[in-house]
Amino acid sequence: MSLKGKTAIITGSNSGIGLGVARELARAGADVVLNSFTDREEDHALAAEIGKEFGVTARYIKADMSKGAECRALIEQAGRCDILVNNAGIQHVAAVDEFPIEKWDAIIAINLSSAFHTTAAALPMMRKAGWGRVVNIASAHGLTASPFKSAYVAAKHGVVGFTKTVALETAEEPITCNAICPGYVLTPLVEAQIPDQMKVHDMDRETVIREVMLTRQPSKEFATVEQLGGTTVFLCSDAAAQITGTTISVDGGWTAL
């Protein structure tokens, strides 16, 4: 599968899943635009490294996905968008009656509304190019719930609903819109929690992963950022041209329970 000549914009891609997806899209030949809300030398260096490693054009554009105007400006500044991966996301854990209002607002803005703004700005570019792929990184929490994650669960269910609507609005065009629903993914953030969990539970690494972290993931294995990147590349392939408005779970069986 070659994505040569396509430009992919991946929101929230200076770490974790977004970075993994950007790398797999670049490996498949796409030019990539990385993004986050920071503007550090290392952000731009990350893009340069990807460009060098895979022989593609790779840029980093700063934009805060909690602000609608910046979401739209990211797409405009990139100048072209064949593949849009809405990945930026944050989490906060608290009971509904204690959930900080500003955290609720931030989660809805970054995890849900940003996808509306970027997609609205990208669709005219996709129509002009005669081809487009929107891939929303939702979550197993877009299909099921957990206590204390009301904003996250609401936002991710919203992303799944938004995905279906965009798919219907573009159904007769060579544009698709789908959501990927990961279970627990081994990102640097998750990796960093393992030593603390080992201490708290007095367990070795394998036991803490199986018994504490992956209690809801029947495979008892984390998904990887490479697997999520590979799923994104598949959704951009010709084989996936008739896949639209749906969710693909990459969750080791979580949502089969």
Catalytic site positions: 152
Q: Does position 87 bind ligand NAD by CB under 6 A? A: yes
Q: What is the pattern of x (binds ligand NAD, CB under 6 A) and - over residues 210-249? A: ----------------------------------------
Other CB atoms within a 10 A radius of the CB of residue 116 amount to 18
Q: What is the pattern of x (binds ligand NAD, CB under 6 A) and - over residues 96-115? A: --------------xx----
* Binds ligand NAD (CB under 6 A): choice among 23, 32, 66, 151: 66
6 phi and psi angles, rounded to 5 deg: -95, 145
* Binds ligand NAD (CB under 6 A): choice among 3, 8, 9, 17: 17
Residues 6+ apart with CB under 8 A from 118: 9, 11, 71, 72, 74, 75, 84, 86
Segment interacting with ligand NAD, rule: CB under 6 A, options 52-60, 82-90, 200-208, 211-219: 82-90
Closer residue to ligand NAD (CB): 185 or 208: 185
Distance, in Å, from the CA atom of 96 to the CA atom of 100, rounded to the nearest integer, reads 9
Footprint on this chain of ligand NAD (rule: CB under 6 A): 12-18, 36-37, 64-66, 87-90, 110-111, 137, 139, 182, 184-185, 187, 189-190
